[in-house]
Amino acid sequence: MASAVLDLRSRPLKDLRISLTDRCNFRCTYCMPRSVFGPGYQFLTPSSVMSFDEIVRLVQISQGLGVENIRLTGGEPLLRTGLDHLINRLSQVKGIRQILLTTNGSRLTQPLAKRLKESGLTRVTISLDALDEETFKSINDVGFSSQGVLQAIDYAAEAGLTPVKINMVVKKNVNADQILTMADRFRHSGHILRFIEFMDVGNSNRWSYQDVVSGQSIVETIHEKWPLKPLAPSRPGEVARRYQYADGGGEIGIISSVSQPFCTSCTRARLSAEGKLYLCLFANQSVDLLTPLRQGADDQELAFLWRTAWTTRDDQYSLDRAAIPVMRNKVEMSHIGG
Strand pairing class (241-245; 251-255): antiparallel
> Following CA atoms 64, 332, 314, 253 in sequence, which dihedral angle do they give, to the nearest 10 degrees?
-80
From the CA atom positions of the chain, what is the Rg in Å? 19
Binding mask 18-57 for ligand SAM (x = CB under 6 A): ------x-----xx--------------------------
Per-residue DSSP letter, 164? P
* Shortest reach from residue 89's CB to ligand SF4, in Å: 24
Could you tell which of ligand SF4, ligand SAM, none binds residue 156, using a CB distance below 5 to 8 A set by kind? none
| Residue 194 near which of ligand SF4, ligand SAM, none (CB within 5-8 Å, type-dependent) | none
Instruction: Specify the stretch interacting with ligand SAM by CB under 6 A; choose among 5-13, 68-76, 85-93, 147-155.
Output: 68-76
Binding partner of 196, given ligand SF4, ligand SAM, none, CB within 5-8 angstroms per partner class:
ligand SAM
| Among 46-54, 73-81, 133-141, 179-187, the segment contacting ligand SAM (CB under 6 A) | 73-81
d(CA 76, CA 35) in angstroms, rounded, equals 19
Continuous segment of H or E residues that includes residue 148:
helix 146-158
Interface residue with ligand SF4, options 137, 262, 287, 297 (CB under 6 A): 262
Widest distance between CA atoms in the chain: 59
CB 198 within 8 Å of CB 211: yes
Q: Is 75 an interacting residue with respect to ligand SF4 (CB under 6 A)?
A: yes
What is the three-class DSSP state of 53? helix
> Residue 263 binds which one of ligand SF4, ligand SAM, none, with CB within 5 to 8 A depending on kind?
ligand SF4
Q: Is 144 in the site for ligand SAM (CB under 6 A)?
A: no
How far apart are the C-alpha atoms of 294 and 110, rounded to whole Å? Answer: 37
C-alpha–C-alpha distance, residues 68 and 262, integer Å: 19
**Cβ 247 to ligand SAM shortest distance, Å:** 27
Please, which of residues 97-136 interact with ligand SF4 by CB under 6 A? 104, 127
Interface with ligand SAM in residues 158-217 (CB under 6 A): 167, 169, 196, 198-199, 201, 205
Identify the residue among 122, 127, 146, 256 touching ligand SAM (CB under 6 A).
127
- 146 binds, options ligand SAM, ligand SF4, none, Cβ within 5 to 8 A by partner type: none
Nearest Cα neighbor of 32 from 223, 203, 272 is 203
**Which of the 8 DSSP states describes residue 74?**
S
Question: From the DSSP assignment, how many helices (H) and strands (E) are in the chain?
Answer: 11, 12
CA-closest candidate to residue 67, choices 92, 89, 94: 94
The Cα–Cα gap between 96 and 111 comes to 25
Binding mask 213-252 for ligand SF4 (x = CB under 6 A): ----------------------------------------
Q: How many beta carbons lie within 10 A of that of residue 248, not counting itself?
A: 8
66 binds, among ligand SAM, ligand SF4, none (CB under 5 to 8 A by kind): none
Contact set with ligand SAM (CB under 6 A): 24, 30-31, 73-74, 76, 102-104, 127, 167, 169, 196, 198-199, 201, 205, 333-334, 337-338
